[in-house]
Amino acid sequence: MRTLNNHKLKLGILDQSALMPGDTPTDAFRRTIELAKLGERWGYSRFWVSEHHDTPRLAGSSPEVLLGALGAHTSRIRIGSAGVLLPHYSPFKIAENFRVLEALYPGRIDLGIGRAPGGMPIASQALRYGRTKPSDEQLPDVLRDLGGFLADSLEPGHRFEGVRAAPFVETKPDIWLLGSSSFSAERASELGAAFSFAHFINGDGGHEAVKGYFDSYRPGPLGSEPRANVCVIAICADTDEEAERLALPVELALLLLEQGQFQRPFPTYEEALAYPYTEWDRMRIQVNRSRMLVGGPVSIREQMLNFAGDYGVEELIVVTFGADPAARLRSYELLAQTFELA
């Protein structure tokens, strides 16, 4: 376990452009842009947006497009994808999209790559439109091609030798592999990428994945130095009691997701209080609490420092869910104040 002090721990933000009851997608995107602007003001290290498909309660289906808007409304904070879902797309097209972003906002772009479907199987089929999904064994080669297109470094004799991803810029995005298991950690260490573990999705196995990444890392086509962070749900309020109240609908939301209720709106506090929980539900809620850090400023500071120290990382990416937009913003503001980010 590593000991971290307040000033050493960096915090970033993951935002999914969630629709609250009564929202339109426009409302969700406006909140995302506002959070990015505030996150920059408050001193967060980076702002990442996700990719989900055919999911009515999440508006963020195209991180590349959304990043263009976020860059126009910010000036310093790093912005990136968490992540572009590589199995659906051509690595050449991904390289072109992110070279456009790099040309617009040089030195600020993170290209986070995931391999999850991001939706139901039929949505994945629509995205690939007849193309075959790369197998896990093929993914390292696809990633090497992506790195080659971004750095103009395809190997001699490559079938696309001479093809360059436009625009032709001198800098390139930082490449992060995202994962909730050891698979992406191993690929990141083999290929030189940075690695982000999705603890907010899977609370098990992350410590081993991150340790293995650092132990096995070697420079490669996707990067030259080891860097890792961990994404976790964090809910902060002015008191521990208020934070626990805000966590109640998040607990129910995670439970409903496990049960396949993807279309259901994010629950309110009143709905969470009235929900007819079974014993199995309560057991799952206790398990899912390992994916969350909850408390007032003093409590959550200790939790987050211990959490980052146990993982051996100096940066956490925070995702804060909730049906109350004001309470959600307050959570991010309190975290920034607690860790003196600005």
Which pLDDT tens digit goes with each residue over 274-294?
999 999 999 999 999 999 999
Average pLDDT over every residue of 23-45: 97
Is residue 251 one of the residues assigned to a domain?
no
Which of 281, 285, 304 is CA-nearest to residue 234? 304
Q: What is the dihedral of CA 293, 294, 300, 303, to 10 degrees?
A: -40
Kindly state the percentage of the chain with pLDDT values over 90: 81
The first and second tokens of residue 90, run together, are 């051509």
Mean pLDDT value of segment 313-323: 94
Residue 43 lies in a domain: yes
Could you give the 3-state DSSP secondary structure of residue 215?
A: helix
Domain containing residue 228? 10-235+294-338
Residue pointed to by tokens 């436009």: 166
Give the CATH number for residue 52. Answer: 3.20.20.30
Q: Find all residues with CB under 8 Å of 100, minimum gap 6, and list them.
A: 68, 167
Q: How many domains does the chain have?
A: 1
Residue 280, domain member (yes or no): no
CA 339 to chain centre: 20
Does residue 31 belong to any structural domain of this protein?
yes
CA 102/CA 112 separation, integer angstroms: 14
Count Cβ atoms below 10 Å from residue 199 Cβ, excluding itself. 27
Going by pLDDT thresholds of 50, 70 and 90, the confidence category of residue 4 is low
Q: How confident is the model at residue 1 (pLDDT cuts 50, 70, 90)?
A: very low
Please provide the distance, in angstroms rounded to a whole number, between the alpha carbons at the two ends of the chain. 26
Strand partners, 114: 85
* Model pLDDT, residue 209: 97
C-beta of residue 143 within 8 angstroms of C-beta of residue 222: yes
Is 182 within a domain?
yes
Which neighbouring-strand residues pair with 113? 84, 177
Summarize pLDDT for 246-261 with one digit per residue, the tens.
999 999 999 998 888 8
Structural domain includes residue 22: yes
2 pLDDT band, cuts 50/70/90, is very low
Residue 309 falls within a domain, yes or no? Answer: yes
pLDDT of residue 303 exceeding 80, the answer is yes
Comparing 18-22, 176-180, 313-317, 335-339, the range with the smallest average pLDDT is 18-22
pLDDT higher than 60, residue 85: yes
* 132: pLDDT strictly greater than 70: yes
Range from 54-58, 161-165, 206-210, 289-293 carrying the lowest mean pLDDT = 54-58
